[in-house]
Amino acid sequence: MSVPYADLTAQYLSIKSEIDKAIQDCIDQTAFIGGSVIKEFEEDFAQYAGANFCVGCANGTDAIEIALKALGVGPGDEVLVPALTWISTAGAVNNIGAEPVFVDVLEDQRTIDPALIEAKITDRTKAIIPVHLYGLPARMSEIMQIANKHGLKVIEDSAQAHGAEIDGKRIGSFGQIATYSFYPGKNLGAYGDAGGITTNDEELAKTCKMITNHGQLKKHNHQIIGRNSRLDTIQAAILKAKLPHLGEWTEKRIAHAKKYFQLLSAVKTPAIPEGYKHVFHVFAIQSQTRDEVKELLDQAGVGNAVHYPNPLPLVPSYAYKGHQSGEFPVSEKLCAEILSIPMFAEMTETQIEEVASIINQL
């Protein structure tokens, strides 16, 4: 029995009438740019994320760029980012003219290692971008302590962790600002590109909003240099329709993960620190014989992926920094050993058992 890596069709069919209506309403009202549904989604998502404000934008990568700009980070500044993350976390830093500085991650949690941060701080360091990778919160209390001690801003890249928590507190509420992606495959996904920024700081929210719309809050009133990174109206309507289901979908992912924990015996499964709520955007197993596991799954028609094949310091676009293999040992080991296996809310018990039994053949 083949099992897909994710199944966006199953999710759509489970809420088809709500989605179809949300899209049709936009068309009926010819509401394609702007419109009340954007504000409604922003308010709903802010509430979901435990933040005072949410600003929608075009995608999760723009969200990071906009957050950095709004915090006043720019050319000449350095920003600390984990060596293991999706390329956007670092690329956004380059794209505002600042320099990403890579920090290795913790092997068990796969998030930025707080013990390695201080050695990378210079007098040019302005901010840290912890990433809640795969859906597990980064170690925010240690990170905030270091950031506060050195006067650094913290942007939580929450693209993979909608609804994750530490001790009952939603991620995104630890740093000054948090960024989200609503790429279709994310835990809350649109039907195209979309992103968002949350913060408790009203001024910061206003600045972000201005940046997303040509530096204006009112038409032809350009206060700062901005750009066009507006949240698309149809995407906002879809996200608003999907958001009420996110809690249930997240609980299902967690239940599926529990089942994997029970069944998987031949490989290492994700470690979750006490008090941390992992929302399993990705269920990444770890094995020294990763390529054999991958081969078994490929042969059985079970979807899988490597997140990510290389630590960012070693990808060609960062060759200019001159990093050598061996400088980020934990990220390098993880890139060689991790494998993401099927994880989506609509998975059935049978599918989970099938995936586990194939991996256990190892």
Ligand X SMILES: *Cc1c(COP(=O)(O)O)cnc(C)c1O
Summarize as ranges the residues that interact with ligand X (CB under 6 A).
59-61, 85-86, 88-89, 131, 157, 159-160, 181, 183, 193, 195
Nearest approach, Cβ of 60 to ligand X (angstroms)? 3
Sheet architecture: strand order including 169-170:
169-170, 165-166, 276-277
Residue 188: which residues within 8 A CB-CB, separation 6 or more? 162, 180, 182, 239, 242, 243, 246
Quote the least distance from Cβ 161 to ligand X, whole Å: 9
Residue 260, token pair as written in the block: 């994997």
Reduce the DSSP state of residue 260 to 3 states and report it.
helix
Task: Report the residue number, 136 or 267, with the smaller CB distance to ligand X.
Answer: 136
User: Is cis: bond before 318, omega within 30 of 0?
Assistant: no
Of 354, 302, 341, the closest CA to residue 134 belongs to 341
Shortest distance (Å) from residue 159 CB to ligand X: 3
Nearer Cβ to ligand X (173/187): 187
> Cβ 354 to ligand X, closest distance in Å?
27
Residue 37: partners with Cβ closer than 8 Å, 6 or more residues away: 22, 25, 26, 31, 233, 236, 237, 240
Point out the residues that are catalytic: 186
- For residues 90 and 345, which CB has a smaller minimum distance to ligand X in the complex? 90
- Closer by beta carbon to ligand X, 186 or else 351: 186
Residue nearest to ligand X (CB): 60
Determine the Cα–Cα distance for residues 179 and 45; give it in Å rounded to an integer: 12
